[in-house]
Homo-oligomer: A and B are copies of this chain.
Amino acid sequence: MLFKEVGIVGVGLIGGSLGLELKKRKLCSKICGVSFHKKSVLRAKKCGAIDEGSLDYRILENSDLLIFAAPVDTILKLAPKISRIIKRDCIVTDVASTKETITSRLSEIFPNYCGSHPLAGSEKRGVMNAKTGLFKNSVVIITPVKNTRDKAIKIVTRLWQEVGAKVKILTPSEHDKAISFTSHLPHITAFALIDSVPEKFFPYAATGLKDTTRIAASDEELWSSIFLSNRKNLAQSIRLFKASVSILEKAIKSGDKQKLSDCLKKSKNKREKLA
């Protein structure tokens, strides 16, 4: 068995799915889950994502592995308090979508911390959508820094590999830059696109509009936090995106078929490289 006791702070889609997976694969003997919402605790217990649950974080005191699976703001608020009650040698990770701030703070607070970001999930939230298989073949980026202990890197890597993910390593700053393009920007375009389509035209929508806006059904609290926690990078990626739109716009307005076709061909070729 990889761990004796695992603690999960935030038993939502990611925390809950990780719990289910750890249990299914018998990677630990006990999982304790903490949530702000009694309903989530009850649901998580009922579906077998955790063995014990509480609104009180003191339930985490015997954890060998602690996973923060809550929004960034919540993690930053809770971390100092939780650091006072858990064991010194507890391995700590988180699953937050931006990594610069959180890695810097949690590395100070927990001696055995290594950050992670599983590129898995969906527009759906909550433990009721948790499922095994969520991490299968997904990419998890871990973000060790200079003072991250080898033991933490090793165990956090192992955790994700055991649940089926491919682990890649980036610095927190590389991570936030990459993800501003591959995750945050697509969410911006989806939210903006659905906003700009008049509702009266919805009956004339096909799969194109549906696929390009699926992630616009994502939670507004979660995503406003994510966007703001990656402001500088996101501002830059939005700027580049707007420039790409403007090039197409200009070619369309001026009726420049050759230019337009060249741009689309370039995009098509690039898209085909994204497996």
Give the docked Cα–Cα distance between A218 and B212 (Å).
14
User: Is the C-beta of A263 less than 8 angstroms from some C-beta in chain B?
Assistant: yes
* CB-CB contacts below 8 Å: A82-123 with B: 119-122
User: Is the C-beta of A261 less than 8 angstroms from some C-beta in chain B?
Assistant: yes
As for how many copies of this chain the complex holds, the number is 2
Give the docked Cα–Cα distance between A202 and B272 (Å).
11
Give the docked Cα–Cα distance between A190 and B206 (Å).
15
The interface-forming segment of A14-22, A150-158, A174-182 is A174-182
**What mask results when residues 251 to 275 of chain A are scored 1 for a CB within 8 Å of chain B, else 0?**
0110101001111111110111110
> What's the minimum C-beta distance from A167 to chain B, rounded to whole angstroms?
12
User: Is the C-beta of A38 less than 8 angstroms from some C-beta in chain B?
Assistant: no
Q: Which chain B residues border A260 with CB–CB below 8 Å?
A: 224, 227-228
The reply to whether A216 and B271 contact each other, CB–CB distance below 8 Å, is yes
> What's the minimum C-beta distance from A100 to chain B, rounded to whole angstroms?
15
Q: Which chain B residues border A187 with CB–CB below 8 Å?
A: 208
CB within 8 A of A204: which of B139, B224, B247, B248?
Answer: B139
Q: Which chain B residues border A186 with CB–CB below 8 Å?
A: 193, 208-209, 211-213
Q: Which residues of A contact B (CB under 8 A)?
A: 119-122, 138-139, 141, 168, 170, 175, 177-179, 181-183, 185-199, 201-221, 223-225, 227-228, 231, 234-235, 237-238, 240-245, 247-249, 252-253, 255, 257, 260-268, 270-274
